[in-house]
Amino acid sequence: MPVVRYRNAAEFEVADNEGQESYFVFGVRKSGSSILNSIVGALAGMNGIQFIDVAGTLFKSGLRVSDWQDDSGLCELLRPGNVYGGFRNFPTGLAGAPRFRQSRKILMVRDPRDALVSEYFSNAYSHSIPQGGNGRSAMLAERDAALSSDLQSYVLRMAPSLRRALREYLPLMDDPTVRIVRYEDRIMEKKRLIADICAFFSWSVSDENVGHILGWADIVPDAERPTAFVRRVRPGDYVEKLAPATVKELELFFQRELSCFGYPATG
């Protein structure tokens, strides 16, 4: 299997199977992206497709999103027979590539009010830290910022970067090669999520393998676990965590994004 190096910082094993399609998986940060990528990766393997965690590999190599997001050099990775995933931010450097434009893509989004609450707990307690590079110092700074801040102030401070991330994906809203999945519609219905992925990508999976995936993917804690990677899962967490004034400010700030992705304001 060919090995492609990126900036002498990361290596990727990529399939190059003429006649096969390529696929892409996107999940805005703190919007179920980890479980989505894990499920897609398992299904890809069952269908003879190579899964490449692009953003995750770059993160572990110590690169920040700003180091690669706009770089068309990522197009060197694009070969037939692969699923490209791990993206929380839209890889604008790939947008002009014919293979990217023609490939089927899944995007998972989440109510930004919940996503910001989740981000606070993740950055404060459970997010992994790279071993080195610019990414490590950036993540350590984010952890310090979360631990030294109260939740209300933190979500308002992080709102602009989340809004930018959401707006990067708005041009995909009317793209026929894109299937948009809302976290709230499928996170408690993972069997349906598996069915949706297979239907959209024209993949197959046996009932036995569906059961196997659900065995590790369908985890919903009975009680909140503030320091765990899987903390709560259930939608609507912001209602309990955020003050009404904070919610109102976020709803005004995310007015366009809430409307585009179908999330009603509280009032």
**What pLDDT shows up at residue 121?**
83
**What pLDDT shows up at residue 122?**
79
Where does residue 223 rank: exposed (0-12), middle (13-18), buried (19+ CB within 10 A)? Answer: exposed
* Angle between helix 207-217 and 33-46 (nearest 10): 150
**Is residue 70 classed as helix, strand or coil in its secondary structure?**
coil
Name 12's bridge partners: 4
The structural domains of the chain, ordered by start, are 3-260 (3.40.50.300)
Contacts of 151 (CB under 8 A, 6+ apart): 117, 120, 241, 242
Pairing of strands 10-13, 3-6: antiparallel
User: What does each of the 267 residues of the chain score in pLDDT, given as a tens digit?
Assistant: 899 999 988 999 999 999 999 999 999 999 999 999 999 999 999 999 999 999 999 988 989 999 999 999 999 999 999 999 999 999 999 999 999 999 999 999 999 999 999 998 877 665 555 556 665 666 566 666 666 678 999 999 999 999 999 999 999 999 999 999 999 999 999 999 999 999 999 999 999 999 999 999 998 767 666 555 555 668 899 999 999 999 999 999 999 999 999 999 886
Contact between residue 87 and residue 54 where contact means Cβ atoms under 8 Å apart: yes
| pTM confidence score | 0.88
Contacts of 65 (CB under 8 A, 6+ apart): 55, 88, 89
Nearest to 250 by CA among 117, 118, 156: 156
**What pLDDT shows up at residue 234?**
84
Separation CA 58–CA 92 (nearest Å): 15
- Per residue in 55-81, pLDDT (tens digit) is 999 988 989 999 999 999 999 999 999
Separation CA 242–CA 238 (nearest Å): 5
Name 51's bridge partners: 83
Q: What are phi and psi of 109, to 5 degrees?
A: -120, 170
Number of neighbours of residue 50 by Cβ within 10 angstroms: 21
Separation CA 37–CA 147 (nearest Å): 28
